[in-house]
Amino acid sequence: MAAGAPRVFVSHLSGTPVFDPNGDQVGRVRDLVAMLRVGRRPPRLLGLVVELATRRRIFLPMTRVTGIESGQVITTGVLNVRRFEQRPTERLVLGEMLDRRVRLVETGEEVTVLDVSVQQLTARRDWEIDRVFARKGKGGTFRRKGETLTVEWSAVDGFSLEEHGQGAESLLATFEQLRPADLANVLHHLSPKRRTEVAAALDDDRLADVLEELPEDDQIEILGKLKEERAADVLEAMDPDDAADLLAELPEEDKERLLTLMQPGDAADVRRLMAYEERTAGGMMTTEPIVLRPDATVADALARVRQQDLSPALAAQVYVCRPPDETPTGKYLGTVHFQRLLRDPPYTLVGSMVDDDLLPLAPGTTLPVVAGYFATYDMVAAPVVDEGGSLLGAITVDDVLDHMLPDDWRETEFHLEEEGTDHGG
């Protein structure tokens, strides 16, 4: 941004693509790093936290930003790919300033910070946070009815104090469009206190989706901070295999208490999965694949495939079984792949088009064998059937990958080598 250009509100920068001088995208803005100063001097903006395509977060100094315009950030092209680590004197603008309760210096009235703006200083390459957009009122559910105002940074007080009642609504609105995996990455990089606040503000389904994408330590931490009744609700909203994996890491008494609070049907599915070894087909499968009777039609199958909450892997095929339709089912007859459903008339019975050539997996099949099965037959999902011929569930390719990758795979990038020095300001 050239000197004298209009200010930029930071919520507009969240997720903004970052390009090098050749026009190649190198990542997206995930936060801004500022340093508070003594008195009421505006904080200096040190740089941006940029998430690369590999999901590594790096620090991009503002001195290497040549332009912020038209929804994009342009850099000099010189990037230090060493992982970003926040220093004690630094503040994350999106993660730590939004939703904070501060006071108006003139009246002493408390307001909630909804956004802040940054501006480049005239004839210099330095950037500052210059204004605060806030809402009057006590916050909470009905705070949106309060009056909003934009004031100079010097007109508010309270950013330097530890915040005990910071909400999360504005931060959540900033990341509203993120996929669960990306929002999980955001939560992972927040402070434990802020992570707990944001998790508490998410609805059960959204939090369940995010928990499934978080490292194990974060999952346990967040679940432990929830009230037990809500923790049970979130576990019910998770895929049964993910809920089983998470519960397996808890102390026995905590695990049993949460299972007791869950709906009996959901708890039964999870208990069944926990009976299998973790790195087997039974331990990795989901108990909620698409199951149809042989007299169901292609139209019935396509209606089930269209369900919005299904993952692409689970929607790739349906499993034809004798009743009962819930797992464990009656006799497993075979699989109908999605492409076959698209080729046949809507009135065709699925029982007449099953693929029964491939043997299903037994629940005790080990991870290496399961991985070889997927690789050999180019599968994205596979049925798991017991000795009696009942369908127990389905295992998907993402389940296999989750168990084959290193425990810290979310923190590991496979295409970059660490180099350069720590970020500074």
C-alpha 153/C-alpha 319 separation (Å) is: 61
Q: In 293-347, which residue ranges form alpha helices assigned H by DSSP?
A: 298-305, 338-343
What is the DSSP annotation of 262-274? S-HHHHHHHHHHH
The whole-number average pLDDT for the span 336-342 is 95
pLDDT digits (tens, 9 = 90+) for 134-174: 999 765 444 456 799 999 999 998 886 455 556 777 777 77
Of 167, 220, 228, 214, the residue nearest 193 (C-alpha):
167
pTM: 0.66
pLDDT digits (tens, 9 = 90+) for 310-331: 889 999 999 999 999 999 999 9
- 412 pLDDT more than 70: no
Output the average pLDDT for the chain: 86
Q: What is the pLDDT of residue 421?
A: 41
150: part of which helix (H) or strand (E)? strand 148-152
Question: What dihedral do alpha carbons 161, 144, 155, 174 form, nearest 10°?
Answer: 70
- 416 pLDDT more than 50: no
pLDDT digits (tens, 9 = 90+) for 84-104: 888 777 889 999 899 999 999
- In angstroms and rounded to an integer, the radius of gyration of the C-alpha atoms of the chain is 26
C-alpha 309/C-alpha 325 separation (Å) is: 19
C-alpha 50/C-alpha 58 separation (Å) is: 5
Cis check: omega of the bond before 328, within 30 degrees of 0: yes
Question: pLDDT confidence of 298, banded at 50, 70, 90?
Answer: very high
* DSSP class of 77: S
